Every structure is written in C-alpha cells, then in structure tokens.
C-alpha cells in the first residue's frame, strides 16, 4: 500500500524575472513501512522534493497524495492536521536554544493543545526511545551534534507521525555518530512502523539503511528501484557517479597502460574466490585496481572494484568474459579522460 504518491510533480521558481525549474515531472510511490532514500548531488532538487511531500513547497504542477488524500484539495486547517502526521528532521537540528531538551520535545505538543503533564510523560517516553533519558534538563548548547539530532528526532516523533522526513539529517555529523543515528532510525522504523524518507547526497547512507532509492539529477528523476539492484547495476551516469565517485582522473592513472575501465561487484560466492588473480593468470596481462570498497547493503557486505583493463580489445574482452563466468557483476566503469 502506497502511503506517499507523487504524481507528475513540477516545481518552478521565479528568480529575478527568470523561471527556474527545480523539479520536472517527478513521479514516486513510497509504500507504508519503507525506508526510502532520495539521493542527488547539491542543487539536484531533492530538498525541494522533500518539502513538497508535506506541502511546505506547493507544486507548480502535479499532485502529492498522503494515504490517498490529495494535499492540494485540503483547506489550511485540514492541511495543518495532515502535516501533524508527517514529522521532519533537518541537517541543522533547528532546536530552540532558550528551551531545554524537555521543552523542545514538548513544544509541538503544546501547539496541538496537549496538557502539560501529558506532554511531559510523552516526552519522557520519547527520550527513552532516543536513549537520552538523563538529558531532559540540558540545553542545546550543552549537547553534542549527535545528541542534538536525537532530540530533534524525539521532537519529530512527539505527535505520533506516520511519516518521518529526514533532510540531510546526518550531513553535519561525524561517521561514527552518523552510523549511530542511522541505526536509531532503523529501530524506529521497525518498532514504530513509521515510514521514513531520507534525503541525502551520500550513497553510504542509502546503502546502510534504505530499502529503495530514487536518484534525482538536474531536477529530474533519472533512476529508482531497490537499493541492491541499483548498486549492482547502475544505468545512468548520475547513479554511477553517486555510487563510485567522480571520473578517475588522478595523475598516476594517466601513466598506466590502461585503455578502459570496468566496475565489478562481488556478492554471494564470488566474494570468496580469487577471481581477479585468476583473471590475471588466465590472460597473462596486468589489471590495475583503481578503486576498491565494501558497502553494507541490507545487512550484507558487497564488494566493489573499479579496474583498469590492459590495452587491446581482445585482452579486455577475455577478462570481462572470464569475470562474468565467475558470477561477478560487470558493468562499464567511470571514464578516464
């Protein structure tokens, strides 16, 4: 069942007399209980898209449906009620500096008229979920970045939302804290059944936590599907760049006898076989390893390599054919210009 439906959404802005198209004809369907990633480079339009989901940005064209209800047809009061079912956390935390942790979490409950005693009880339950029970009297200035984001998550959960939007929520955090926050979001998704939409420019965030992903490039949806499938076989240049990084143009590479590059992905039994060494022995020519990495996808370690193949199409074809026979997933690698 789709909890979020985005249909043919276009968003235009007027800037100094010029029309800027931030999003163009986007259609996305997010199922209840998903952890859905929306990824793109800076300026791709992903933050505009996430703000369109709760109608903080109203589309120029197209529609957004939550639980089958078209937000464009709601009156302001009805829209505010619907927004209370959509929590949101941000890169900059957006905590109220003059309020302590308890006050920050209670703030949205005050806005909906909940009694103070009930609001505090709800806040304490949420502090247990985000593992900050001992910080209810602390102020934001006394907290670390990770603790601030946990408070922001608790505040976003205060009104019992069915959807949680995360706009670059881990971009300001160090890698260790990012991992802890992602683990917390995963627990919230599993225990509370909340659908989570994560906006990010980091593929590592998507592979760590998301079930499905949409790739936005230049305001357009260029690719979408299961994270594992897109990681294994990206079809668009935008997806390849986000997964494997920019074109490999380092000086040492130019000095290598390399004609072309390929990307290989190890999974299942291929991860335990010396396929690269065997390929070198079979062809009798060197293969240059330009990049090697391992990603956690759905709880499984998946290896990735970018290889520089020797000059001569026959040698390259022989290597590619052998690698495919071993069960390795082979695709075109980044261009080396």
Q: 109 with 159: CB under 8 angstroms?
A: yes
| Whether residue 9 sits in one domain with residue 115 | yes
Residue 169, domain member (yes or no): yes
Cα separations in angstroms, 66 against 6, 197, 268: 9, 13, 38
Residue where a domain terminates, one of 189, 213, 236: 236
Domain end among 236, 255, 282 = 236
The answer to whether position 337 is within a domain reads no
Taking the C-alpha atoms of residue 295 and residue 252, their distance in angstroms, rounded to an integer, is 25
Query: What range defines the domain where residue 320 resides?
Result: 246-332
Residue 75 lies in a domain: yes
For residue 224, what pLDDT is reported?
94
Burial-class residue 195 by CB neighbours within 10 Å (0-12, 13-18, 19+).
buried
Structural contact between residues 322 and 285, judged by C-beta atoms closer than 8 angstroms: no
Number of Cβ within 10 Å of residue 7's Cβ equals: 16
Domain of 277, CATH number, reads 3.30.70.260
- On whether both 121 and 266 belong to a single domain, the answer is no
Per the structure, the count of domains in the chain is 2
Residues 290 and 162 in one domain: no
**pLDDT by residue for the chain (337 residues), tens digit each?**
889 999 999 999 988 888 989 999 999 999 999 999 999 988 888 889 999 999 999 999 999 999 999 999 999 889 988 888 999 998 888 899 999 999 999 999 998 889 999 999 999 999 999 999 999 999 999 999 999 999 999 999 999 999 999 998 888 888 899 989 999 999 999 999 999 999 998 888 898 899 999 999 999 999 999 998 898 888 888 888 888 776 544 334 444 455 578 888 887 655 556 778 888 887 777 788 888 888 778 777 788 888 887 766 676 788 888 888 888 888 876 554 4
149 and 97 within one domain: yes
Question: How many other C-beta atoms are found inside a 10 Å radius of the C-beta of residue 33?
Answer: 15
Same-domain pairing of 154 and 250: no
Q: How far is Cα 250 from Cα 116, in angstroms, rounded to an integer? A: 60
Regarding beta strands 163-167 and 195-200, do their DSSP bridges make them parallel or antiparallel, or are they unpaired?
A: parallel
Q: What is the pLDDT of residue 58?
A: 92
Q: Using alpha carbons, select from 186, 188, 101 the residue that is nearest to residue 144.
A: 101
> Does residue 241 form part of some domain?
no
Examine the domain organization and report whether 155 and 288 are in the same domain.
no
* Domain membership flag for residue 158: yes
Same structural domain for residues 123 and 259?
A: no
Q: Domain with 87 in it: what CATH number?
A: 3.40.50.300
Q: How many CB atoms lie within 10 A of CB 247?
A: 15
Half-sphere exposure of 92 (CA within 13 A, CB side): 3
Paired sense of beta strands 2-15 and 258-266, if any: unpaired
Same domain, 230 and 289: no
Q: Please check whether residues 207 and 265 belong to one and the same domain.
A: no
**230 in a domain, yes or no?**
yes
User: What span, in angstroms and rounded, lies between the C-alpha atoms of 268 and 62?
Assistant: 42
Q: Are 262 and 214 in a shared domain?
A: no
215 lies in some domain: yes
Please tell me the predicted confidence (pLDDT) of residue 253.
45
CB atoms within 10 A of CB 137: 10
| R_g (Cα) of the chain, nearest Å | 23
Q: Is residue 113 part of a domain?
A: yes
Where is the domain boundary, 200, 215, 236?
236
Task: Report the candidate in 174, 317, 222, 289 with the shortest Cα–Cα distance to residue 26.
Answer: 222
Residues 327 and 224 in one domain: no
| Residue 30 neighbours by CB distance under 10 Å | 22
Tell me: do 146 and 114 sit in the same domain.
Answer: yes
């Amino acid at each position: 069942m789709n909890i979020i439906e985005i249909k043919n959404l276009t968003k235009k802005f007027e800037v100094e007399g010029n029309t800027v198209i931030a999003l163009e004809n986007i259609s996305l369907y997010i199922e209840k209980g998903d952890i859905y990633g929306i990824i793109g480079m800076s300026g791709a339009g992903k933050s505009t898209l996430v703000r369109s989901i709760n109608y903080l940005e109203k589309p120029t064209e197209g529609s957004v449906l939550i639980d089958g209800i078209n937000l464009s047809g709601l009156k302001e009061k009805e829209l505010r009620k619907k927004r209370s079912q959509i929590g949101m956390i941000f890169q900059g935390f957006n905590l109220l500096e003059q309020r302590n942790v308890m006050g920050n979490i209670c703030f949205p409950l005050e806005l909906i008229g909940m009694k103070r005693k009930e609001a505090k009880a709800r806040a304490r339950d949420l502090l247990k979920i985000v593992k900050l029970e001992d910080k209810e009297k602390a102020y934001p200035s006394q907290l670390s970045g990770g603790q601030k984001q946990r408070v922001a998550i608790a505040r976003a959960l205060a009104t019992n939302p069915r959807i949680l939007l995360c706009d670059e929520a881990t971009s300001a955090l160090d890698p260790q804290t990012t991992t802890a926050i992602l683990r917390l979001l995963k627990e919230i998704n599993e225990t509370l059944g909340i659908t989570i939409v994560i906006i990010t420019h980091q593929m590592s965030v998507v592979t760590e936590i998301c079930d499905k992903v949409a790739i936005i490039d230049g305001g357009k949806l260029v690719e979408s599907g299961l994270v594992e499938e897109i990681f294994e076989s990206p079809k668009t240049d935008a997806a390849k760049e986000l997964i494997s990084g920019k074109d490999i143009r380092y000086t040492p590479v130019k000095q290598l006898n390399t004609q072309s590059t390929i990307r290989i992905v190890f999974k299942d039994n291929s991860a335990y076989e010396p396929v690269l060494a065997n390929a070198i022995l079979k062809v009798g020519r060197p293969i240059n390893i330009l990049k090697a990495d391992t990603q956690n996808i759905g709880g499984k370690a998946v290896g990735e390599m970018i290889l520089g193949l020797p000059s001569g199409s026959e040698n390259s074809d022989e290597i590619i054919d052998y690698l495919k026979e071993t069960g390795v997933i082979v695709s075109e690698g980044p261009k080396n210009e």
